[in-house]
Amino acid sequence: MGSISSSCLDSIPPLGDFFPPTPQAYAFLLNTFQYFPLITLTQWLISYHPAGKTSLQTSRLNLPGPLAWCLMEIVGPLNLIYILTTLPPAINISSLPFWNKLVAALYVIHYINRAIINPFFAAPSMSPIHAFIMVSAMAFNWFNSSCLAGWLVGYETPVTGGWKVDGRPKLRREGPQNAVQRYAPFVGVGLFVIGMLGNTYAERTLYKLRREEADRRVEERDRNEKEEKKDITSSTSSISEENEKERKKNKYHKVYVIPPTRGLFRSILYPHYVFEWLEWIGFALAGTAVFPSRKPVIPTSYATPPITLAPWLRPAAALADRFQVPLPLPAVLFVVNAVANMLPHARWGRKWYVEKFGEEGVQGRGAVVPWFKWL
């Protein structure tokens, strides 16, 4: 057992090799990150998620919602930009082809919305977020952005099975060979835009409903208080006014509503999740155009070892091989890991809606599958 542990530790590159990642560190990150779905299995069994609707109000490890959300989401784009701008000149962002830069820009645009616009400008309020959730999300985004950055600069990691997982220039020198090679990247950009617009619209709809409900409650409370005729002392009145100011200041806090059955919410409760998945599917399709403009100068001592694909990734590799396009492995990992992470949250979220508003409020809608009560 000791020898096995020692061998595993010896296979981990030195810490300095991850900042920015060398090809060997990049292969290690890919090999590790592809098994993230196994970690998410516990999320199907445990509803513990101290953030948002299910946040813990009394925990000492709570952090202000907007700040924690920004910190855990901003890690991704900052790390991606850091890696693309600090690698040697032969392989950094200035020498990359157009599609590599475009895919990087799509990722950064998404996270500007997630990390800055949503928490500080769009959301009416955000419940406290537990430090554990923030740190876990930061780790996910660091792994993800490191893998994406290594891929975008042209690191090539062979995999067992003979699949093409890197964007080899020889595929492009011969010109497009089929319709998939020619149009998949453009379709991908289109899907990304549709997904981001749908995701943003669904989230803004929820924010609007929360604002309207909070305003309605305040108006109703004010109306009821005016109708009450009670004798109150000046001291009590001042305390009441102070409490009233505090209530009005936080009137959106923990105000949640179930969206009506119309528009994007007609058949599912989490269309913003589905549209985000569509976003990253488009991102992966756009990634089929990513390839190095020239072979990067990689020291022999940092030769990238091959990895064995996890079973759930092999169908995507076979599909890419069928259409003779490079498999954008880190982008595919992003899709798979995002779905694996968000799907159980949607499942528990539907259960929360049922407990809060009853089945009559849910009206038979699924979480992400139309009219499917279990999911």
pLDDT value for 66: 95
| pLDDT tens digits, one per residue of 83-117 | 999 987 667 677 788 999 999 999 999 999 999 99
Q: At what angle do helices 329-362 and 271-286 cross, to 10 degrees?
A: 170
pLDDT value for 89: 66
Indicate whether 240 pLDDT > 70: no
% of the chain residues with pLDDT over 70:
82
Residue with tokens 């009394």: 58
The pTM assigned to this predicted structure is 0.88
pLDDT value for 100: 93
pLDDT value for 174: 46
Say how far apart CA 264 and CA 140 lie, in whole Å: 28
pLDDT value for 3: 44
Please report, for the chain, the start and end positions of each structural domain, with discontinuous segments joined by +: 16-221+251-293+308-362
Handedness of CA 144, 146, 147, 152 (dihedral sign): positive
pLDDT value for 250: 67
Q: How many CB atoms lie within 10 A of CB 278?
A: 18
Bridge partners for 18 per DSSP: 21
Tell me the average pLDDT across 333-341: 98
Across 222-226, 234-238, 352-356, least confident range: 234-238
CA distances from 308 to 18, 30, 31, 314, 315 (A): 21, 10, 8, 10, 13
If one compares 219 and 351, the residue with the highest pLDDT of the two is 351
CB 329 within 8 A of CB 157: yes
Band the pLDDT of 235: cuts 50, 70, 90: very low
Amino acid at 109: I
Indicate whether 237 pLDDT > 60: no
Maximum mean pLDDT: which of 186-195, 209-218, 301-310: 186-195
Any idea what DSSP says for residue 100?
H
pLDDT value for 16: 92
Band the pLDDT of 32: cuts 50, 70, 90: very high
Mean pLDDT of the chain: 84
Tell me the average pLDDT across 159-178: 54
Q: Of how many residues is the chain composed? A: 375
If one compares 302 and 325, the residue with the highest pLDDT of the two is 325
Say how far apart CA 159 and CA 163 lie, in whole Å: 7
| pLDDT tens digits, one per residue of 33-78 | 999 999 999 999 988 888 887 776 778 899 999 999 999 999 999 9
61-80 burial code (b ≥16 CB/10 A, e <16):
ebbebbebbbbbbbbbbbbb
The token duo for 142 is 């660091």
If one compares 204 and 231, the residue with the highest pLDDT of the two is 204
Tell me the average pLDDT across 274-285: 98
pLDDT value for 234: 43
Say how far apart CA 51 and CA 254 lie, in whole Å: 11
| pLDDT tens digits, one per residue of 72-87 | 999 999 999 999 999 8
If one compares 165 and 221, the residue with the highest pLDDT of the two is 221
pLDDT value for 171: 41
Indicate whether 173 pLDDT > 70: no
| pLDDT tens digits, one per residue of 205-215 | 999 999 998 88
